[in-house]
């Protein structure tokens, strides 16, 4: 076993790897960018080396700086985590050339799986079922159109070098094929420097089921499947293991195919074979097809760990240091059911816009496994993936594990940035999901209802008003401080309410003309006659109410008033990204809410809208521009007066 390893990553995954390394008695070296000087992974490691600026290309993607840090600190091996350099074969070669060990597969295995077309051809040879389609070299548009006709519509065009759902187009009719092909190739060329595409049969109502594999370079075992069908725009939101409705026959067939795939490339370390499954009438042993292989530890690996009892990072460290596979296939069994929810700093009602902020208050449930890279007071910066934590639960049955997930999310408290926690809670309460009726279209179909069910609720707001007035604690103690007026107006950023103290333990809050009766009894809050799981928390950024449909009220700060000198007249880029489109030109009249531009960042497109009515004075960015966070994009003329 190694004595010291370097972790070439940040955030929750760096912390996750350090946890296991420490458990095994290894010393750890962290690397960090300017933006991460005070980050949790830096504090957790035995040593930390600064490797550059906040942009990934200036730090976490600088293989040379990372290898130098490993050599300088005497680390023997490098764990890449996921993302960044984890699937970069040139980095793997450079690590070996420096006399260090890469904790992961060989460069050649990564290269073989790096392009989706070559990977599919290889898997076909190995006898692994692949999605029917065309993955040849001929990229002539007419040829591809004929292939699409032969496959039969609907078809999916995919960038062979693709990832993160980019360069993918669903085409329903052959008359739309040419235009979709052109835009997919354009996006692929920009994003991956490779315009080549493949064409696949589009599976209707598909499920995404993937198999965890682990190899030692010659042999491989599988650690069963994960169902990642709960996706929004091809991005996983909640994952689980095992897959609901899985039959022993299909599990055996998928597991065997995944092991064949891994052994075909002499795979070493942890990897995932992603399959698309036609789940329209139940799971069938002949109804799954290879999509791609991810040659690294996957974000959702904890659900597999919880059902198998295996520490996958421990296995990675042991196999990379030369030990043989820690278990035989027959030693591995499934125990219960597990879920993982990805908690993001994002504004769900605003179209899942990534958010940033300083976490004025942060508390995780103690009855769930929580993987996180942040602590209270830490900042979610615009530079990296805005994931705050992964909340992972385990139970004897799927129903128990799901109730555990719901309750863990209800007990999660984050203030200082908006999050998707209430959207995740709404998902755990979704009827079809509860029954295990999952497919990749579930979220899109029910999006409006899910978003609505996760919006803040006036009754939670009424409680927040009490907290903002400083009355939550005196109420709990059964008496109110009598020197305070019995009836007063409470204001915060964006609203106000009338608060009346009716007696010990009771109050009335009138919001938008609607009175809400508040009481505290039996250890919990009651609003309008119903008990709630709400908690009122006062913190540096204001008052929050947690416990489902959470919200934060920010007190009015007389000194900060008028801070927006432009009065909403300047639209800034909320994060570093690529300007995809600009819809206005100077001189044009706009009204509040009009689309001004589209920014692509964090693998998503975000629509920027006008904050007020006005006339465009200046357009400061063009489609195709790469912009930093805070870059001015569009300026409106000053308002009169
Ligand atoms: P996995 O395939 O391991 O489940 P994903 O497919 O969700 O993970 O993501 C693949 C990679 O993209 C990961 O390395 C992750 O760091 C990165 N990633 C995932 N979500 C985001 C996001 N919202 N913004 C930026 N990067 C992301
Ligand atoms: P990426 O590299 O972006 O992860 P994948 O090939 O893994 O691309 O596909 C991402 C997602 O797109 C899948 O999880 C699934 O939801 C959907 N998808 C991919 N291929 C198909 C297909 N042939 N039919 C239907 N949906 C598909
Ligand atoms: Mg994928």
Residue from 233, 210, 463, 473 nearest 346 by CA: 233
Residue range 49-68, pLDDT digits in tens: 999 999 999 999 999 999 99
Residue 576 CB coordination number (10 Å): 19
Residue 615 has a pLDDT of 93
| Res 541: pLDDT | 87
In this prediction, residue 218 carries a pLDDT of: 92
CATH number at 105-131+206-333: 3.30.470.20
Residue 488 annotated in active site:
no
Q: How far apart are CA 114 and CA 87, in angstroms?
A: 8
Q: 2 — alpha (psi -120 to 50), left (phi > 0) or beta? A: beta
Q: What is the pLDDT of residue 470?
A: 86
User: What is the Cα–Cα distance from 300 to 392, expressed in whole angstroms?
Assistant: 9
Cβ atoms of 344 and 386 within 8 Å: the answer is yes
For residue 201, the ligand 2 atom closest to its alpha carbon is 23
Element at 500 (helix H, strand E): strand 495-503
**pLDDT score, position 559:** 43
Angstrom distance (rounded) from CA 599 to CA 580: 6
Ligand 1 mutation pick, 16, 60, 80, 164, max ligand atoms within 8 A of CB:
164
By percentage, how much of the chain surpasses pLDDT 90?
Answer: 78
CB atoms within 10 A of CB 494: 8
Cα 316 to the chain's mean position, in Å?
23
Ligand nearest to C-alpha 85: 1
Pocket test for ligand 2, best of 165, 275, 300, 603 (most atoms within 8 A of CB): 165
Ligand 1 probe mutation, 55, 60, 83, most atoms within 8 A of CB: 83
Measuring CA to CA, which residue among 497, 464, 466, 463 is closest to residue 481? Answer: 466
pLDDT tens for each residue of 571-591: 888 777 888 889 999 999 998
Q: What is the mean pLDDT of the chain?
A: 92
pLDDT at 604: 63
* Ligand 1, CB within 6 Å, residue ranges: 82-83, 164, 235-236, 294, 298-300, 385, 602-603
Count of C-beta atoms within a 10 Å radius of residue 554: 15
Fold of 4-103: Rossmann fold (3.40.50)
Ligand 2 pocket, 162 CB below 6 A? Answer: yes
- Rounded to the nearest whole angstrom, what is the distance from the C-alpha of residue 480 to the centroid of ligand 1? 50
Ligand nearest to the CA of residue 163, numbered in listed order: 2
Q: End-to-end alpha-carbon separation of the chain, Å? A: 72
135 lines ligand 2 (CB under 6 A): no
Supply the pLDDT for residue 480.
59
Nearest to 554 by CA among 490, 507, 485, 499: 490
Asked if 30 contacts 22 with a C-beta cutoff of 8 angstroms, the reply is: no
Q: Residue 521's closest CA among 532, 509, 536, 510?
A: 532
Residue 603 pLDDT exceeds 70 = no
* Ligand number with the minimum distance to the CA of 420: 1
Per residue in 533-570, pLDDT tens?
A: 999 999 988 999 999 999 999 888 644 333 344 567 88
CA angle 290, 292, 298 (to 5 degrees): 120
CA angle in degrees (0–180, nearest 5) for 10-422-505: 120
Residue 119 and residue 123: Cα distance in Å, rounded?
A: 6
Q: Which of 40, 232, 296, 549 is catalytic?
A: 296
Q: Are 100 and 79 contacting, i.e. CB atoms less than 8 angstroms apart? A: no
For the CA of 83, the nearest atom of ligand 1: 14
Tokens of 479: 């008496």
Nearest CA residue ID for atom 21, ligand 2: 202
> Which sequence spans correspond to the domains of the chain?
4-103, 105-131+206-333, 133-201, 336-455, 458-553, 570-636
Neighbours of 505 (CB within 10 A): 18
Domain 570-636 belongs in CATH node 2.102.10.10 = no
- Contact in structure between 106 and 268 (CB atoms under 8 Å): yes
Residue nearest to atom 12 of ligand 2 (CA): 234
Same fold, 4-103 and 133-201: no
Query: What pLDDT, on the 0 to 100 scale, is given for residue 601?
Result: 72
The atom of ligand 1 lying closest to the CA of 274 is 2
CB pairs under 8 A, 24+ apart, for 434-438? 434/399, 434/402, 436/244, 436/245, 436/398, 438/207, 438/227, 438/229, 438/230, 438/244, 438/279
What pLDDT was estimated at residue 561? 35
Query: H/E/C letters for each residue in 386-417?
Result: CEEEEEEEEECCHHHHHHHHHHHHHCCEEECC
Instruction: Identify the residue whose C-alpha is closest to ligand 2 atom 23.
Output: 202
Q: Which pLDDT tens digit goes with each residue over 224-267?
A: 999 999 999 889 999 999 999 999 999 999 999 999 999 999 99
Considering every ligand atom, which ligand is closest to the CA of 135? 2
Out of 11-15, 272-276, 552-556, which region has the weakest mean confidence (pLDDT)? 552-556
Is 210 touching ligand 2 by the criterion CB < 6 Å? no
235 Cα to the center of ligand 3, angstroms: 9
The architecture CATH gives domain 336-455: 2-Layer Sandwich (3.30)
Residue 173 exposure: Cα atoms within 13 Å on the Cβ side: 2
Q: Is 541 in the pocket of ligand 2 (CB under 6 A)?
A: no
What atom of ligand 1 comes closest to residue 604's alpha carbon? 23
Nearest-angstrom CA–CA distance, 392 and 409: 10
Pick the CATH number of 133-201 from 3.30.1490.20, 3.40.50.720, 1.10.10.60, 3.90.226.10: 3.30.1490.20
């Amino acid at each position: 076993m190694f004595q010291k390893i370097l972790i070439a990553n940040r955030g929750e995954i760096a912390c996750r790897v350090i946890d296991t390394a420490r458990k095994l008695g290894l010393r750890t070296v962290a690397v960090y960018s300017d933006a991460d000087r005070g980050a949790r992974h830096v504090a957790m490691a035995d040593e930390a080396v600064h490797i550059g600026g906040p942009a990934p290309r200036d730090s976490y993607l600088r293989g040379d700086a990372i290898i130098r840090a490993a050599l300088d600190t005497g680390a023997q091996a490098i764990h890449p985590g996921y993302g960044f350099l984890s699937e970069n074969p040139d980095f793997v070669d450079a690590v070996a050339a420096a006399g260090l060990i890469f904790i992961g597969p060989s460069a050649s295995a990564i290269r073989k799986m790096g392009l989706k077309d070559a990977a599919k051809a290889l898997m076909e040879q190995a006898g692994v079922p692949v999605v029917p389609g065309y993955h040849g070299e001929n990229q002539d548009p007419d040829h591809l159109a004929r292939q699409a006709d032969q496959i039969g519509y609907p078809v999916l065009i995919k960038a062979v070098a693709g990832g993160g759902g980019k360069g993918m187009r669903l085409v329903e009719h052959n008359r739309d094929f040419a235009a979709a092909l052109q835009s997919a190739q354009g996006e692929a060329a920009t994003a991956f420097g490779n315009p080549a595409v493949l064409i696949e049969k589009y599976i209707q109502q598909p499920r995404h089921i993937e198999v965890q594999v682990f190899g030692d370079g010659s042999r491989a075992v599988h650690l069963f499947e994960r169902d990642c069908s709960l996706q929004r725009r091809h991005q996983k939101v909640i994952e689980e293991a095992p897959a609901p409705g899985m039959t022993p026959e299909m599990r055996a067939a998928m597991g065997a195919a995944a092991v064949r795939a891994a052994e075909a490339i002499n795979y070493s370390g942890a990897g995932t074979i992603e399959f698309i499954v036609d789940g329209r009438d139940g799971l069938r042993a002949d109804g799954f097809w290879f999509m791609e292989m991810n040659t690294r530890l996957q974000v959702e690996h904890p659900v597999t760990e919880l059902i198998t009892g295996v520490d996958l990072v421990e296995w990675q460290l042991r196999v990379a240091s030369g030990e043989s596979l820690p278990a035989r296939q027959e030693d591995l069994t499934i125990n219960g059911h597990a879920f993982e929810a990805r908690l993001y700093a994002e504004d769900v009602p605003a179209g899942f816009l990534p958010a940033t902020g300083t976490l004025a208050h942060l508390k995780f449930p103690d009855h769930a496994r929580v993987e996180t890279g942040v602590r209270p007071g830490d900042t979610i910066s615009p530079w990296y993936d805005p994931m705050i934590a992964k909340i992972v639960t385990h139970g004897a049955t799927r129903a128990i594990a799901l109730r555990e997930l719901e309750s863990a999310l209800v007990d999660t408290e984050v203030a200082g940035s908006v999050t998707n926690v209430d959207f995740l809670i709404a998902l755990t309460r979704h009827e079809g999901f509860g029954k295990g009726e999952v497919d990749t279209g579930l979220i899109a179909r029910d999006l409006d209802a899910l978003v609505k069910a996760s919006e803040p609720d006036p009754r939670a707001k009424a409680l927040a008003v009490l907290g903002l007035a400083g009355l939550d604690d005196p109420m709990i103690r059964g008496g109110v401080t009598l020197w305070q007026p019995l009836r007063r107006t409470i204001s915060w950023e964006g609203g106000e309410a009338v608060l009346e103290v009716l007696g010990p333990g009771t109050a009335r809050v009138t919001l938008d003309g609607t009175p809400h009766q508040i009481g505290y009894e039996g250890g919990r809050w009651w609003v309008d006659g119903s008990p709630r799981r709400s908690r009122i928390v006062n913190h540096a950024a204001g008052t929050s109410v947690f416990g489902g449909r959470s919200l934060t009220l920010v007190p009015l700060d007389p000194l900060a008033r008028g801070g927006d000198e432009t009065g909403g007249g300047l639209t800034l880029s909320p994060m570093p990204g690529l300007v995809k489109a600009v819809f206005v030109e100077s001189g044009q009249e706009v009204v509040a809410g009009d689309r001004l531009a589209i920014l692509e960042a964090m693998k998503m497109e975000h629509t920027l809208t006008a904050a007020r009515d006005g006339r465009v004075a200046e357009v400061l960015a063009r489609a195709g521009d790469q912009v930093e966070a805070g870059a001015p994009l569009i300026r409106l003329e000053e308002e009169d007066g």
